[in-house]
């Protein structure tokens, strides 16, 4: 069966420090991968999505970047965190096709202090 792992669950980082959030998927090949930020009143904002290794699409200009070094690994990064980067980050995956379901990780609560 397919599973998705996202870590860490919570993270407190100082302003100006780097960030690396990791997401891995098991039990499937060539998934679509997604990073979202969930905020009250703003819903699920799509940050990045990837349809294959090394293929990253950015949806909103920001202080973050994403990489996909392996087929089932998706990393969210920042070189220098800002206070405004605080939030709840969700990783998800789906297979390509009509009506396919997306599966979500447990999320990471990032607090920048």
| Residue 61 contacts another protein per CB under 8 A | no
Q: What whole-number distance in Å separates Cα of residue 45 and Cα of residue 41?
A: 11
Q: What is the DSSP letter of 98?
A: T
**Residue choice 9, 12, 51, 82 for contact with another protein (CB under 8 A):** 51
**Residue choice 105, 108, 110, 112 for contact with another protein (CB under 8 A):** 105
Tokens in use for 111? 């607090």
- Supply φ then ψ for residue 24, to 5 degrees: -130, 150
Q: How far is the CB of 23 from another protein (least distance, A)?
A: 13
Q: 8 to each of 15, 23, 82, how far by Cα in Å?
A: 18, 9, 19
Q: How far is the CB of 9 from another protein (least distance, A)?
A: 12
* Cβ–Cβ < 8 Å for 52, 64: no
| Residue 34 contacts another protein per CB under 8 A | yes
The smaller minimum CB distance to another protein, of residues 81 and 105, is found at 105
Residues that bind another protein (CB under 8 A): 32, 34, 36, 41-46, 49-52, 55, 57, 90, 92, 94, 96-102, 104-107
């Amino acid at each position: 069966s397919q599973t998705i792992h996202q870590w860490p669950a919570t993270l407190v980082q100082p302003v100006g420090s780097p960030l690396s959030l990791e997401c891995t998927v098991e039990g499937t090949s060539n998934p679509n991968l997604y990073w979202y930020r969930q905020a009250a009143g703003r819903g699920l904002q799509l940050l990045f999505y990837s349809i294959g290794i090394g293929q990253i699409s950015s949806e909103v200009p920001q202080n973050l970047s994403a990489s996909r070094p392996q087929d089932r690994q998706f990393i969210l990064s920042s070189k220098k965190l800002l206070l405004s980067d605080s939030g709840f980050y969700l990783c998800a995956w789906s297979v390509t096709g009509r009506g396919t379901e997306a599966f979500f990780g447990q999320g990471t609560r990032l607090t920048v202090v």
